[in-house]
Amino acid sequence: MADPDPVPGAAGAAARTGAAGSRATDARLALADRMLDILRTTSTEPRPDEQLEALMLAVAADLPVLLWGEPGIGKTAALTQLAACLDLPLTTVIASVHEPSDFSGLPIVGEDPEARGVPMAPPRWAVELVRAGRGLLFLDELSTATPAVQAALLRVVLERRVGALRLPPAVRIVAAANPRASAADGWELSPPLANRFVHLYWVHDPDVVVRGLGGVWPRAELPRLAPERLPEAAEFARRAVCGFLLARPTLIHRLPSTETRRGGAWPSPRSWEAALTLLAFGTAAGVSRDVLALLVRGAVGDGPGLELLAHLDRMELPDPEELLADPVAAGLPERGDLRQAALESVVAAVGARPRRERWEAAWAVLARALETGAPDLLVAPATALAALRRDDWEVPEGVERLAGVIGLARRADRSVRRAESAQGGHGSAGVRR
């Protein structure tokens, strides 16, 4: 009898061995996937984060935001968390790998182009956004997009149009870019495109990174606008921006002289409108001055933004004549620098119209300030007010307390100067020896 063919048996054994090896591999990959799921499972906590708060407020105000930051800094992770917080589907479009027609639309020739024209067909991602009716459009790698692609993005960012399609109002736009020095084949942003964004510079907070790697990231939350403050906040923002631009009309439109600065935030009527909107939203939400500074500077640039913030501080100062008219009920700012500025404005008002009753009222304002704030802020205003005294003006009652405060402060200053002089003298003596 002939020997059986060994090949089928060998093939079967090999097949069984292969199947067993495949099951073992699948089991190992399943364990690896389980480990990845454990590592990716994180939680969030309410934690102050000025960057995240500024981003959320700009998105709530429906303004396009551009996040600048070095590679790996966490811009994409912030956008993912933002979309989850807003419960919006995230649509990511890598601008640098697309053609201009992907944003301006592809021409589609129909049956009768002479009568009906040639429509511009939008890309699939835009059609899906319209179908969803809402979403977060994330334009990544904007600084590596060619000038032609940047030009095609102008209508997408400002008018929310992609070809012949208009994106729904519930779609928010956020972009991200790396500085040209750290971008792969980077380009400077064109001035028209840059001026359409609120620019936020994303940096890492060591505490946030360490706690996040431990499994707990800060929670992104929409700003809570106070309904009763909406009209007041809008009126304040209009008065602040319009009053500032009346005093500084040269800042209404100022195109930077260098190409790099043109690719960032700079003042124009469009960006001042964005700053006004952000100021209104920030006032209604009661955000901190640091968050407001990030937003205003991100809209109109560092210089104009800082000038506007200084103008806001001056707007918050009480009228010195009102303080002199009713010193007992004087409402002084809580912030130390604003409080001292208010007191100095009272002294300046008395100096402009020096009368005994006004001089005495100013002392009453300083006494009120002593009751409600730090005494060291009174040294300079009280010294200047004392210098305004005329020979026939008697010192008001209650000034003794102020005189004591001023005397203590002066003695402290003299002690510091003596200590500094002594240190300098010892040093000289050491050299002589």
Instruction: State the sign of the Cα–Cα–Cα–Cα dihedral 241, 64, 48, 235.
Output: positive
CA 330 to chain CA centroid, nearest Å: 34
Q: Are residues 207 and 252 in the same domain?
A: no
| pTM for the predicted model, two decimal places | 0.75
Question: What SS3 state is found at 159?
Answer: coil
Looking at the structure, tell me whether residues 152 and 250 fall in a common domain.
Answer: no
d(CA 357, CA 412): 32
- Please tell me whether residues 240 and 356 are part of one structural domain: no
Using one digit for the tens of pLDDT, what is the confidence trace for 331-347? 888 888 888 888 998 99
With respect to residue 196, please indicate whether it lies within any of the assigned structural domains.
Answer: yes
Nearest Cα to Cα of residue 80 among 69, 70, 90: 90
Domain count of the chain?
3
Domain shared by 79 and 210, yes or no: yes
Asked if residue 30 belongs to a domain, the reply is no
Triad 393, 394, 397: Cα angle to 5°: 140
Each residue's pLDDT tens digit, 368-425: 888 887 877 888 888 888 888 888 888 777 676 676 665 544 554 454 455 556 665 5
Whether 46 has a pLDDT exceeding 70, the answer reads yes
| Residue range 159-186, pLDDT digits in tens | 898 888 899 999 999 999 988 766 556 6
Distance CA 429, CA 127 (A): 82
In a domain, residue 365? The reply is yes
Domain hosting 174: range is 46-105+121-218
Q: Which residue has the higher pLDDT, 105 or 30?
A: 30
Same domain, 210 and 267: no
Instruction: Tell the residue number behind the tokens 């209604």, with chain if given.
Output: 284
- Domain stops at, among 198, 218, 238: 218
User: Do both 61 and 199 map to the same domain?
Assistant: yes
Question: Is the predicted pLDDT of residue 360 greater than 70, yes or no?
Answer: yes
What pLDDT sits at residue 429?
Answer: 41
Structure tokens at 190: 């064109």
- Using only C-alpha atoms, the chain has a radius of gyration, in whole angstroms, of 33
Q: Is the domain of 85 the same as that of 169?
A: yes
Residue 123 has pLDDT above 70, yes or no: yes
Percent of the chain with pLDDT over 70: 83
Tokens, residue 362: 């100013």
In a domain, 116, yes or no: no
Q: Is 278 a residue whose pLDDT tops 70?
A: yes
CB 164 within 8 A of CB 101: no
Distance of CA 390 to the CA centre of its chain: 51
Residues 234 and 206 in one domain: no
